[in-house]
Structure 1
Amino acid sequence: MADQDGSRVSIPAGSATLDGELHLPDGGSGLVVFAHGSGSSRHSPRNQYVASVLRERGLGTLLFDLLTEAEDRAYENRFDIDRLTDRLDAATGWLREREDTAPLAVGYFGSSTGAAAALRAAAAREDVGAVVSRGGRVDLASAQLPDVTAATLFVVGGADTQVLELNREAYERLACEKELVVVEGAGHLFEGEGELERVAELAADWFGDHLV
């Protein structure tokens, strides 16, 4: 069982075993699963920062690698949204089978291509309460968007013009509770002063409202 400092876990996903880092909430009721973007991993400093803010709000977090090291060396696998979605679904099922995580309300935080996997997985499951997309390639989940029932927040940088347009188009396809927030002046990675902090606060508020 993970303690408050977190523990390393191995998640079965078909023929693969995925490495992860699980932090359980201290008396909380929500757990956020992170789906990173292409070329990233569970060690993503941006996602690690957001996860730390969520934990400060009493939420649990699971950061895990959606691909094995061998799979990640093949560039095309990073954009295999079907595979990434299956991995996220497998991780969620694994959480549902554990005694310590089964009772927790689950949400997804997806970045870039990981946001597409998060939305696709949420559309296929009834036990995901909320989704937050940071600079998400949500267009890659276009066909599944009308089936998403989880409360969904899109956060996009104002200077990330192409992705912002894709998010606006995708937003119209959502039939669930939803919100789109533009962080003015921010680029795709939210590297400017205070920008990632803004993302983390928005995510913490969203998950706090819908999971806790």
Structure 2
Amino acid sequence: METPTLNFRKVHFVTSAPDIRHLPSDDGVEVAFAGRSNAGKSSALNALTQQKNLARTSKTPGRTQLINLFEVEPGKRLVDLPGYGYAQVPEEMKRKWQASLSEYLQKRSSLKGLVLLMDIRHPLKDTDRQLLGWASGNDLPVLVLLTKADKFNAAPRKNIVQQVRRDVLEFAGDIRVEPFSSLKGIGIDRLASILTDWYLNPSLDDLSASLDDTL
């Protein structure tokens, strides 16, 4: 008998923070959403929670400037990390965002899973590979969501997913790859199921390996 998924419709906003020193106590279980600034993180969070305005979306990628934290239920949190690699902002501001992203990933001990979003048309960019390598080295489970999957019909979409699954084998970690579309509802149930498993069965110790600061 399958374990019922958590009720993600009850997710609510907790706080926005420029760095981990402004986040709540580092306990419980957190799952972080990361990806390039145009990968659709905010849309994925809104689709998962069935709340149109939980995470802000914008036609201009790169609007997630802070670490945004949401509570699923007591002790279980979703984290929307600053996007990387695209935002049309001053270089100094971009470096600041990326520093807070790296710091969170390296030092937040309650982090127990990473959802890495990639546009299905442009998967596995250098920064994506860097995150996958780091996560694998730290035994952090990763769910790769190939977003905007509605851009392809079923057969070519399946081919891309299978190719990315083969490609990530090089990292030898707990990495799952799924198609996703917030517009068409593709992959939302799978996302909810995997997150529920991570929240209810966390098995990761403190992360200590360094993450290159060039994200």
TM-score scaled by structure 2?
A: 0.50
Paired with 1:119 and 1:57, the residues of 2 have a C-alpha distance of 33
Q: Which residue is equivalent to 1:111?
A: 117
The answer to whether the 8 A contact 2:143-2:175 is kept is no
Deviation of 1:9 (Å): 0.8
Counterpart check, 1:10 vs 2:25: no
From 49, 54, 63, give the equivalent of 2:80: 63
Paired with 1:56 and 1:115, the residues of 2 have a C-alpha distance of 32
Deviation of 1:160 (Å): 5.4
The answer to whether the 8 A contact 2:36-2:84 is kept is no
The answer to whether the 8 A contact 2:30-2:113 is kept is yes
CA deviations on 1:16-68 (whole Å, 9 max, x unpaired) are xxxxx96778x62x2222124443676x2322443789824953222132259
- After TM superposition, the structure 1 = structure 2 runs for residues 169-208 of structure 1, keeping only pairs within 5 Å, are 169-173=163-167, 174=169, 175-180=172-177, 189-192=181-184, 195=186, 197-208=188-199
Q: Which residue is equivalent to 2:9?
A: none
Q: Which residue is equivalent to 2:38?
A: 39
Paired with 1:48 and 1:23, the residues of 2 have a C-alpha distance of 22
Paired with 1:108 and 1:190, the residues of 2 have a C-alpha distance of 18
Counterpart check, 1:165 vs 2:159: yes
Paired with 2:200 and 2:164, the residues of 1 have a C-alpha distance of 23
Deviation of 1:72 (Å): 1.8
Give 3-state SS (helix, strand or coil) of 2:132's partner.
Answer: helix
CA distance 1:112–1:41, change in 2 (3 Å): closer
Paired with 1:38 and 1:94, the residues of 2 have a C-alpha distance of 17
Paired with 1:94 and 1:180, the residues of 2 have a C-alpha distance of 23
Unaligned 5+ segments in structure 2 are 1-11, 55-69, 204-215
The answer to whether the 8 A contact 1:35-1:115 is kept is no
Question: Which protein is richer in helix relative to its size?
Answer: 1
Deviation of 1:10 (Å): 0.8
Give 3-state SS (helix, strand or coil) of 1:132's partner.
Answer: strand
Deviation of 1:109 (Å): 0.9
Counterpart check, 1:73 vs 2:88: yes
Paired with 1:107 and 1:22, the residues of 2 have a C-alpha distance of 18
Percent of pairs identical after alignment?
Answer: 9
TM-score scaled by structure 1?
A: 0.51
CA distance 1:67–1:180, change in 2 (3 Å): closer
Question: Which protein is richer in strand relative to its size?
Answer: 1
Q: Report the aligned-residue RMSD.
A: 4.6
